[in-house]
Each structure stands twice: as structure tokens, then as C-alpha cells.
A and B are shown apart, each in its own frame.
Chain A
Amino acid sequence: MCSPLRKKLLNITYKVVVPAAFIGLFFLIWEIICLSGAVSSLILPTPAATFKAFFTEGDLIMKHTGITLLEAVCGLACGVAVGFALAVLMDTFKVCGYGFKPLLVITQTIPTIVIAPLISLWMGYDVKPKILLVALTTFFPIAIGLADGYRATDADMTDLMRSMGANKWKIFWFLKFPNALPNFFSALKISTTYAIVGAVVSEWVGALGGLGFYILRLQRMYAYDAMFATIMWVIILSLLWLLILEIVKRCVIRWDKKEN
């Protein structure tokens, strides 16, 4: 029989200590490989050099982070708004449900790297085309996730709302939307990671600033330690976004945690 304290300690061990140990081990192996001379430090800098570069290049990384974050946040906001509107249309009008779905799938089969130069050509090299590209990559999971959530609403619950005299709008507001919130947050998790990646990729093909632009510049300068540091920072940024999202989700979806 496990005591509660022992159970809690085991839980922390599995969820925090073990993953941290594996990440530490990964960096250790990387460091050993570099120090052994198996791979040239010019091609693959050591984790220590990468860590050091993060501090020496910190100001520039932060400056470019601001631009990338602006593109990612604005793009994600637009993507969520468009995804939300599409999901409502698909749920409300049967013809939209059947009509939009193939179009949505087609938009997702076009690789970002292919469409990014076109969008830059049409809209220039400032942040606007990047926002558009991020919106294009993030709206799909939101639209599909929400539409599935709306569709999964219990028909008996809809009847119950109707028997109260609720119109379509009230059924949506009091029943369908809250019912789709878990789907929405799952979709948002996917879109959030797409947002950072989409912003960085769109900066590669032509930009005046941003982490993608900076990574490309560092690559051309053969400053691989700073480049790796920036890539690591992109990963940390994505993880931080996911963490913030998880906290928001736990604040919004409180009923799941309180089930018997």
C-alpha cells in the first residue's frame, strides 16, 4: 500500500526528475561526442558553447524574439478568429460543413515553405505576410477541433435546451461552445506550436528581422554556437507558450479536475 506522500514523491519523480535526467543525459552525450573530436566543433558546437553564446548574443536574440513573437501572437489570434468563425458556419449551415472541409484540407496540404515566398512577393518583407502565413497554418486545427466539438454535443442536451425555449444562439452559448472547450484547447496546443514554427519559417524566405531571419544570418556567418543557442531559444519559447496555455486551460476547464 502506497502512502500519499510516497505516491506524491513517485509522481514528481516520474513527471519531473526522470524527464530532466533524460534531457541532462542527452546534453552530456552531446558534450562527450563533441569533446571526443568525433564531430568538429565548427559544425556541432558543444552544449557549453551554445549556452555561453546565448548570453553573449542575448541582446540580439531578445530583439529578434520580439518581432517573432509579434508575428506569432497576431497570426495565432487571426487564425483562432478565422477558425472559430469557420467552425460556427460549418456547424450552423450543413452546406458549409460539406463545402468547407475539402477546401480546408487542401490549404493544409500546401507546405509552408512553398507558399511563404509567394506571400512575401505579394505583401512585402515586413511583419504582415508573416502574420498571414501564421494565420494560414493555425486556423485549421482550431476550425476542425471546434467543429468536431460542436458536433459532439449530446442531442438530448440540445432537446433539453430547446424545451426550455432556447434559440440557436442560446444553445450555442450555453451548451455547444462550453462543450467544445476541451477540443478547442487541444487544437490550440497544436496551433500554438505551429505559430512559432510558422513565424520562423516565414522569416527565412525574406524578412527584416525576427528569429528566423537571425538564424539564417548566423548560419551565413558560420556562428553555429549562436545559431544553436537561438534554435534552443525557439524550442524554449514554444514550450513556454504551451505551459501558459496549460495554465489557462486549467483555469477555464475546472470541471474535469473535479469529477469523482
Chain B
Amino acid sequence: MALLEVKGVTQVYDGVTIIEDVSFSVEKGETVCLIGASGVGKTTLFQVLSGLIAPASGVVLLNGENVVGKTGKVSYMLQKDLLLPFKTIIDNVSLPYRVGGMRKKKAREKVAPYFEQFGLQGTEKKYPGQLSGGMRQRAAFMRTYFFGHELMLLDEPFSALDEMTREDMYAWYMRIAAELNLSTVFISHNLEEALTLADRILVMAGRPGTIAHELKVERDGAEGDFTTSQSFAEYKKALKEYLK
């Protein structure tokens, strides 16, 4: 059974259909990327998957359970890092536990051992305003991880970062995703980012938006660095065609 199954999801705002009959599935340990033009309904789809809004029709099954309109079932990282400026990094990261009713001391103890793994050692008592963009993004990602759910939804997780930091973050993300066996759906506007990180790419297109194409990324055949390989260039070309 797939970890996530989305079947025929349609969402309407003020009489306008934003997404229509969206269906796809995500397996355990898989990284899936959603790409598509602005306004095609990617974030709306994420809001449906996270339970923040209920769709006009369709179902969202997580491990076979219908989670339509139910929040707190998936780990969701929104477009901005959204770290609370008035909380230290350790309190930001442990927020999911605090919301779950855990005492502050216990919640801090739970997250403290992970700071090194997430590359955030020494930032525990700092405030978000004292961190660089990359560090903030890692902290937001770490907090998302502590939602503790099997599926992570990341809405343009690296879009606010500069090119160099983004490259570092890709390597870091791939290492951490493998270590923690994460199942992730992320939104991106960057084709190279999608091809570097995702096992499968879903292309959203049309008005109303729907899944128009699907691309499975096979890295095994590529020699050396995948991002400089012939197959990477071919995948990129195919994606560009899909997005036209």
C-alpha cells in the first residue's frame, strides 16, 4: 500500500476551480517533486494534503486512512521558514512537541541530540534573527521533521537561498533524507533542484491545474556526477517540453 494516495482531488475558490481531479501516490521513502507554473495550484494542493483546507471533492489517504480536513497528520513546511522570532532555535524546533502537550524541558531534551545531525550545533540558544538564511532553513526543516509524521510536505524549501547555499543544502538534504528514510513531497520552480533531489517529478499544468505529466528520475545509469551527466540534460529537456 502506498504511503499517500490522492484520488480525484478538486478544489474551488469563490466559484473558480483551482485544481481539478488531481490523483497521484507516494511510496514510503520516496521523494516526489511537484513543479508547474505559478498559480497552477501547487500550494493549494499542499493545503489540501495538510488538512488546512478540505477539497470540494476527492479523497486523501494516508496509510489507507482518509485525512481530508484533518490537520496534524503530515509534516508541513510552508514557503517561508516561519521561525517564531520570539523563540530561541531550540524552542522553535521543539514547538511540535510543545503543541503536542509536552513540557518545555522534556521537549528540549528530545530535540537537543539532533542539532549536530542537522548541522545546527551551537545555535540552540540563538534567536532566528541571528542565523543566516541557510541555517534558518535547516532549523525550519528540523522543526518539520519533529512533527513526527511519516510524510513531509515542503513548499519551495530552498527558494529563499542563494545559489551556493542551495547547493550545500541539496547535499545536506539528500544525506539527511537517506539517514532518516524520509518520504517527501516538495514543490519547486527549479528544474535542476527537482532533478537533483526527486525520485519522481509530477508536472502540474492547465487551468484548473492538474497532474499533466510524470517523470521518473533514474540516477543509477549515470556515470560520475548525475547533475553533469547526459541523462540529467535529457531529463531537463523533457521537463522543459512538459512545461511549455
A175-B84 in contact given A156-B78, A163-B52, A259-B130 (Cβ < 8 Å): yes
A163-B86 in contact given A255-B129, A258-B130, A260-B129 (Cβ < 8 Å): no
In terms of DSSP, what is the predominant structure of the interface of chain B?
loop
Shortest CB–CB separation between residue A7 and chain B, in angstroms?
22
Q: How far is the CA of A165 from the CA of B96 in the complex (A)?
A: 9
The one of A154, A174, A178, A259 that contacts B99, using a Cβ cutoff of 8 Å: A174
- By a CB distance below 8 angstroms, the chain B residues around A163 are 50-52, 71-72, 74, 76, 78, 147
Q: Is the CB of B130 within 8 A of A156?
A: no
- By a CB distance below 8 angstroms, the chain A residues around B51 are 163
Q: How far is the CA of A161 from the CA of B98 in the complex (A)?
A: 11
Q: Is the CB of A166 within 8 A of B99?
A: yes
Among B2-59, those with CB < 8 Å from A are 47, 50-52
A255-B85 in contact given A156-B79, A163-B51 (Cβ < 8 Å): yes
| Interface residue tally on B, bucketed by range | 20 to 34
Among B195-224, those with CB < 8 Å from A are none
A160-B78 in contact given A255-B85, A259-B129 (Cβ < 8 Å): yes
Q: How far is the CA of A156 from the CA of B46 in the complex (A)?
A: 13
A255-B79 in contact given A162-B52, A163-B51, A164-B96 (Cβ < 8 Å): no
Q: How far is the CA of A154 from the CA of B100 in the complex (A)?
A: 21
A/B pair count, beta carbons within 8 Å: 66
Among B54-107, those with CB < 8 Å from A are 71-72, 74, 76, 78-80, 82, 84-87, 95-96, 98-100
Is residue B189 within 8 Å, beta carbon to beta carbon, of the partner chain? no
Q: How far is the CA of A162 from the CA of B80 in the complex (A)?
A: 16
- By a CB distance below 8 angstroms, the chain A residues around B86 are 178-179, 181, 253, 255
Is residue A96 within 8 Å, beta carbon to beta carbon, of the partner chain? no
- By a CB distance below 8 angstroms, the chain B residues around A161 are 99
Is residue B127 within 8 Å, beta carbon to beta carbon, of the partner chain? yes
- By a CB distance below 8 angstroms, the chain A residues around B74 are 163
Chain B residue at minimum C-beta to C-beta distance from A175:
B84
Among A146-164, those with CB < 8 Å from B are 154, 156-157, 159-164
Q: Is the CB of A260 within 8 A of B130?
A: yes
- By a CB distance below 8 angstroms, the chain B residues around A179 are 84, 86
8 residue pairs bridging A and B, Cβ less than 8 Å apart: A156-B79, A159-B47, A159-B52, A160-B82, A163-B72, A174-B95, A174-B99, A258-B126
Contacts A255-B85, A258-B126, A259-B129 aside, 18 further interface pairs with beta carbons under 8 A come to A156-B79, A156-B82, A157-B82, A157-B84, A160-B78, A162-B71, A163-B71, A164-B99, A165-B72, A170-B99, A174-B95, A178-B84, A179-B84, A179-B86, A253-B86, A255-B87, A255-B127, A260-B129
